[in-house]
């Protein structure tokens, strides 16, 4: 018996037991032994782990958080909406040659001086036009776009990873549910 036959024997027994019972210690054993033996996780175990992660993502609540955004999935959907709005504003700023949004216009009649470039309201309106083309970001107010820009910019400036969606490549096998 060679190494591969030995591994396959163990893994086939665990697969059969997993399919019959769905007990997590069986999956835990398969994952742990594959790591210890430094062999790839078999497809049945990979799919089982992905499905557990998805189930956890869809149902688990964040500790100490109540309300509609307590679940991890709901929170990520909200965070992604903020990210899309922030990204639209950043695109408009880039095209205007700016690093930050200009200060809000002062109340009262504007001065009769020369044109000072794009305004805060103008840039936010442009961002809303960009968002209107994205089915996940439509029907948003200018205040919501501005709030998202402020929220994400502050988070990123503080070094938080919560809104760094560009760092992720979401790939899931078609057989994962």
Give pLDDT tens digits for 11-46: 999 999 999 998 889 899 999 989 998 999 999 999
Looking at residue 62, the DSSP 8-state letter turns out to be: P
In a domain, 143, yes or no: yes
Residues 93, 123: contact at Cβ < 8 Å? yes
Q: Are 60 and 71 in contact (CB under 8 A)?
A: yes
Same domain (yes/no): 20, 96? no
Residue 107 included in any domain: no
Whats the size of the chain, residue-wise?
177
| 136 and 91 both lie in a single domain | yes
Task: Assess whether 87 and 146 both reside in one domain.
Answer: yes
- pLDDT tier at 74, thresholds 50, 70, 90: confident
Distances in whole angstroms, Cα of residue 56 to Cα of each of 59, 62, 149: 5, 11, 29
Write out pLDDT tens, residues 103-149: 887 776 666 655 667 899 999 999 999 888 877 666 788 999 999 99
pTM of the model: 0.64
- Checking if the pLDDT of 176 tops 50, the result is no
Nearest partner of 57 among 29, 76, 85, judged by Cα:
76
Write out the residue range of the structural domain in which residue 94 sits: 72-102+117-164
In this structure, is residue 111 part of a structural domain?
Answer: no
């Amino acid at each position: 018996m060679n190494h591969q036959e030995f591994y396959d024997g163990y893994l086939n027994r665990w697969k059969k037991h997993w399919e019959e019972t769905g007990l997590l210690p069986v999956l835990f054993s398969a994952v742990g032994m594959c790591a210890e033996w430094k062999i790839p996780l078999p497809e049945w175990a990979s799919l089982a782990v992905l499905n557990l992660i998805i189930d956890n993502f869809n149902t688990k609540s964040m500790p100490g958080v109540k309300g509609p955004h307590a679940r991890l999935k709901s929170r990520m959907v909200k965070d992604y909406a903020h990210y899309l709005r922030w990204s639209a504003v950043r695109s408009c700023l880039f095209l205007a040659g700016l690093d930050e949004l200009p200060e809000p216009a002062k109340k009262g009649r504007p001065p009769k001086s020369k044109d000072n470039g794009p305004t805060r309201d103008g840039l936010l309106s442009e961002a809303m036009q960009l968002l209107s083309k994205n089915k996940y970001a439509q029907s948003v107010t200018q205040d919501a776009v501005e709030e998202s820009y402020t929220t994400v910019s502050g988070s990123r400036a503080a070094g938080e990873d919560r809104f760094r969606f560009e760092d992720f490549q979401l790939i899931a096998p078609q057989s994962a549910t």
